[in-house]
Amino acid sequence: MNFDAVVSAGTQAVGRLGRVANVRDPRHALSIAPTSPTRPVRRRRSGPIPSSLSAEDPALRIALVIERFLPGAGGVENVAWQVAHELARQGADVTVLAREIDPRAEVSTERIAAPRAWQPLRIASFSRRVGGRLARSDFDVVHGFSHTRTQDLFRAGGGSHRDWLRRTRTGAGRAIRTLSPRYRVRFAIERDVFERSDQRIQCASRLVADVLEREHGVARKRILLLPNAVDTEAFAPERQAAPAHALREALAPPDARVWLFPASGWHRKGLDTALRALAARPGEEVLWVAGGDRPGPWRAKARAIGVEDRVRFLGRRDDMPAVYAAADAVVLPTRYDPFANVTLEAAAAGRAVVTTRANGASEWLGDGLLVLDRADDAEALASRLETLVDGPERNRRGGALRERARELDWPAHVRRLREEYASIVARRGGVAR
């Protein structure tokens, strides 16, 4: 049985799971409560919204849907947090619907109760209960960041889950995941969303959009192509001079050249290629690996190719702006990334970057970027690093990337989203949901 046939074989099981998620259990009853008791209760809008509504009009009521409204919990969670707060800063009327909510949130929120145990049930239940809430909605536009069926704009931040699995897993590993309820639920929700012509799809790269058009039949006119964004001030290198100097002194030998690999999921992100490229480089060059994964097997790989003493595993860091500033350049020979935010962060930090065409961010970062055609080409990566040995060339590329990153900040990103929200309402004829 081929891959697509195995994916579709789970349809009936997913349907049964959806029915389980709809059990009328009072312990799982829909619970919606503002996190701040002082917020006024909204009255449902009736009739058409103002005909003069524009992207900047605060009369537009926006709902963001995300399972976990928790900054630091993951990439999509960070994006939802930034979008919500930037919408509020721009004066928009925004409410976040979420299963978990950080108490530090400074926007209106509503908690959607859903089971926490067993991921397939959790995802299916959250989607169904969000749909129940929105059936009584006073929102004009709903922007979905999680796997939910009910929204006007669905952010396919990770692309197609089926495509992700095909690109990142092989053999038994792929088969096991394809047959698991966890993946079947995601496949089924994505299939429903991609087939619904009334939902817009947000993609961060053409790499993702092309797959949705080619393999899922999503019409190009349904796709909003919008790159991810970065806090350019937080990563500004001039703000990190002192902590970066301290890191360099503590973690790198004197006169070493430091290449930084900032990622989790090290196999997919190409750490094996980075290690082999390091082995082909002079001994005064070292590799810092920042991110969450199990370092033991990778230390063994580094030892086997003779670079163990030149690799430093930093673990997860809460001082990444300083880590970027302390490195000479960033390497990410990823096998697949719809949009690797770390490359945009590195650009904002003014660091030169080497990555691959399988990283959707490479479409947006301009000529300052060095790009590999193949993620497993360690020889090509070593050659690109040779280009960056030259300090002026390295600084020129880092400066060009920094300028490009300035155009991809959160205010610009959210302004484009607000234009999209207004267009969604206009296409609906200016009538509230």
Q: Is residue 206 part of a domain?
A: yes
- For 73-126, the pLDDT digits (tens) are 888 999 999 999 999 999 999 999 999 999 999 999 999 999 888 888 999 999
Is the pLDDT assigned to residue 17 strictly greater than 50? no
Is the pLDDT assigned to residue 378 strictly greater than 70? yes
Helices H / strands E in the chain, number of each: 17, 15
218 and 316 part of one domain:
no
The pLDDT of 252-266, averaged and rounded, is: 95
**For position 159, which CATH number holds?**
3.40.50.2000
- The pLDDT value recorded for residue 11 is 39
Sorting pLDDT into bands at 50, 70 and 90, what band is 188? confident
92 and 223 part of one domain:
yes
Is the pLDDT assigned to residue 298 strictly greater than 60? yes
- For 31-78, the pLDDT digits (tens) are 333 333 333 333 334 445 454 455 556 679 999 999 999 998 888 999
Percent of the chain with pLDDT over 70: 81
The pLDDT of 341-366, averaged and rounded, is: 97
Sorting pLDDT into bands at 50, 70 and 90, what band is 139? very high
Residues 6+ apart with CB under 8 A from 91: 56, 58
How many distinct structural domains can be found in the chain? 2
162 and 64 part of one domain:
yes
Tokens encoding 257: 């050249």
Torsion-angle region of 72 (φ positive above 0: left; ψ -120 to 50: alpha; else: beta): left
Burial readout 82-105 (b: 16 or more C-beta within 10 A, e: otherwise)? bbbbbbbebebbbbbbbbebbeeb
CA proximity to 298, closest of 276, 329, 320: 276
CA proximity to 160, closest of 152, 151, 168, 170: 168
Is the pLDDT assigned to residue 176 strictly greater than 60? no
- The pLDDT value recorded for residue 162 is 64
- For 239-251, the pLDDT digits (tens) are 999 999 999 999 9
The DSSP bridge pattern shows strands 352-356 and 285-290 to be unpaired
Burial readout 264-289 (b: 16 or more C-beta within 10 A, e: otherwise)? eebebbbbbbbbbbbeebeeebbbbb
- For 310-321, the pLDDT digits (tens) are 999 999 999 999
Report how far Cα 325 is from the mean position of its chain's Cα atoms: 22
56 and 124 part of one domain:
yes
Model pTM?
Answer: 0.83
SS3 8: helix
183 and 270 part of one domain:
no
Q: Is residue 432 part of a domain?
A: no
> DSSP strand E in 47-168: where?
61-65, 68-69, 93-98, 100-101, 108-111, 141-144, 153-155
Q: Is residue 243 part of a domain?
A: yes
- The pLDDT value recorded for residue 190 is 87
Q: Is residue 61 part of a domain?
A: yes
17 and 120 part of one domain:
yes
126 and 181 part of one domain:
yes
- The pLDDT value recorded for residue 20 is 39
The runs of H, that is alpha helices, within 135-292 are 161-168, 171-179, 181-195, 206-216, 241-251, 266-269, 271-279
CA distance 343 to 355: 8
The pLDDT of 146-166, averaged and rounded, is: 82
Beta carbons of 227 and 361 less than 8 angstroms apart: yes
Structural domain of residue 279, as residue ranges? 237-408
Sorting pLDDT into bands at 50, 70 and 90, what band is 302? very high
- The pLDDT value recorded for residue 169 is 59
Burial readout 362-400 (b: 16 or more C-beta within 10 A, e: otherwise)? bbbbeebbbbbeebebbebbbebbeebeeeeebeebbeb
199 and 248 part of one domain:
no
253 and 370 part of one domain:
yes
Average pLDDT, the chain: 85
Q: Is residue 205 part of a domain?
A: yes
156 and 252 part of one domain:
no
Beta carbons of 172 and 151 less than 8 angstroms apart: no
Q: Is residue 195 part of a domain?
A: yes
160 and 18 part of one domain:
yes
- The pLDDT value recorded for residue 327 is 98
Is the pLDDT assigned to residue 356 strictly greater than 90? yes
Beta carbons of 131 and 152 less than 8 angstroms apart: no
Q: Is residue 261 part of a domain?
A: yes
Q: Is residue 16 part of a domain?
A: yes
